[in-house]
Amino acid sequence: MYGTFIEIRLDKKDLNNCWLAVSSEDRDWVEATFPNITDLLKNAQNKNHLIRSGWTAFAIQILGIIAGFALSLWAGLKIAPFLAIENAFVVSFFFAFIIFSNAWTYLNPQLLSLVDRIFPNIRFAQPNKQTIHWLAQGLVITLIGAPTIFLMDAGFELIGKILKEALFK
């Protein structure tokens, strides 16, 4: 409570848990120290607050729903030819959409957590430890994404064949 001190709190996850406090009996020291530290922090700030907004969560939700709808349409188109029932596309679409909407309940928080990890409030850069370059990251995503889409396509066809055999023996 007494004496000279500086307290800086930087929280990686919670922006409301970050603060700077400078106190001393020497008013000149406080008036010189506080702006200097504030300037240092401002010069080192990142732009992650632009990503860590409510609009990002909204965009993830909307894009997830659009992706789920498109994925359900794709599944419906792949599975429907194997079903010899009335409105086979509608049935297979709704089945895929229900599966997706249940999975989305768990995927959405994971995506929001990923955004928090990729764009933290505070990050202390270590010059000797560079992250993977964005081009290399895009290449890895492509190498993983393309086979995943191929396997999903084959999986939808397999589900259609299994349903055809199970329902129409």
- Statement to judge: residues 80 and 17 lie in one domain: no
109-136 burial: b if 16+ Cβ within 10 Å, else e: eebeeebeeebebeeeeeeeeeeeeeee
pLDDT for position 93: 92
- Residue 26 has a pLDDT of 85
Asked if pLDDT for residue 169 goes beyond 60, the answer is: no
Give the pLDDT score at 127: 65
The first and second tokens of residue 83, run together, are: 């079903």
Q: Identify whether residues 94 and 117 lie together within a single domain.
A: yes
Quick one: 34 and 80 in the same domain? no
Residue keyed to tokens 């194997």: 82
In the structure encoding, which two tokens stand for residue 100, read together?
Answer: 């997706």
Model confidence pLDDT, tens digit, residues 84-103: 888 889 999 999 999 999 99
Lowest mean per-residue pLDDT among 26-30, 67-71, 125-129: 125-129
Read off the tokens for 109. 């928080």
102 lies in the same domain as 149: yes
What is the C-alpha separation between 167 and 15, in angstroms, rounded?
A: 55
Instruction: Say whether both 59 and 138 belong to one domain.
Output: yes
Query: Are 38 and 18 spatial neighbours (Cβ–Cβ below 8 Å)?
Result: no
**Above 80 in pLDDT, residue 40?**
yes
> How confident is the model at residue 90, as a pLDDT?
92
Looking at every residue in the chain, the average pLDDT score rounds to 83
- In the chain, the number of structural domains is 2
Q: Domain of residue 140: give its range.
A: 52-167
Q: Check whether residue 29 and residue 56 sit in a common domain.
A: no
Per-residue pLDDT at 3:
76
Per-residue pLDDT tens digits for 121-165: 777 766 666 565 667 667 777 888 888 888 888 888 888 888 777
